[in-house]
């Protein structure tokens, strides 16, 4: 894939309806063309010592950094971000150009 990636790792607050947040996020990425790929997951495997309380991963792919920058100021993103931030207990965000070192033949 490569491209420019926006990675968000979070721990949701205990009383949050994660399904609702996910619906909002899927709506967001479907409305913004700049988001080329979006995948997410819930940790089911690693040890608590390794995941350190974090539970969910969200990964968006853009063609280039400028597309990500434009995404951050998109009205739908700005609106969703407020909902998202209110729902999380802690988070880590990394934005980076992806280096593909191995890909399916």
Give the binding site for its own copies (CB under 8 A).
Answer: 1-2, 5, 7, 9, 25-26, 29-30, 35-46, 50-52, 54-55, 57, 59, 65, 68, 91-104
Q: Of 13 and 41, which CB lies nearer to its own copies in the complex structure? A: 41
Q: What is the token pair recorded at 99?
A: 């280096």
Minimum Å distance from CB 55 to its own copies? 8
Closest approach, Cβ 71 to its own copies, in A, equals 12
CB 35 within 8 A of CB 60: yes
Q: Which is nearer to its own copies, 12 or 68 (CB)?
A: 68
Closer residue to its own copies in complex, CB, 55/76: 55
Q: Helix axis angle, 18-31 relative to 75-87, nearest 10°?
A: 160
Q: How far is the CB of 105 from its own copies (least distance, A)?
A: 9
Name beta bridge partners: 59.
7, 39
Q: How far is CA 31 from the centre of its chain?
A: 15
> What end-to-end distance do the CA atoms of the chain give, in Å?
13
Least gap, CB of 73 to its own copies (angstroms): 14
Tokens of 66: 């400028």
């Amino acid at each position: 894939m490569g491209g420019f990636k926006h990675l968000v790792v979070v721990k949701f607050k205990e009383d949050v309806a994660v399904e609702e947040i996910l619906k909002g996020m899927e709506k967001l990425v479907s409305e913004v063309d700049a988001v080329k790929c979006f995948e997410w997951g819930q940790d089911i495997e690693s040890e608590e010592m390794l995941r350190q309380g974090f539970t969910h991963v969200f990964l968006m792919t853009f063609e280039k950094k400028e597309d990500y920058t434009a995404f951050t100021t998109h009205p739908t993103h700005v609106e969703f971000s407020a909902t998202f931030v209110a729902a999380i207990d802690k988070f880590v965000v990394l934005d980076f150009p992806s280096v593909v070192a191995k890909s399916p033949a």
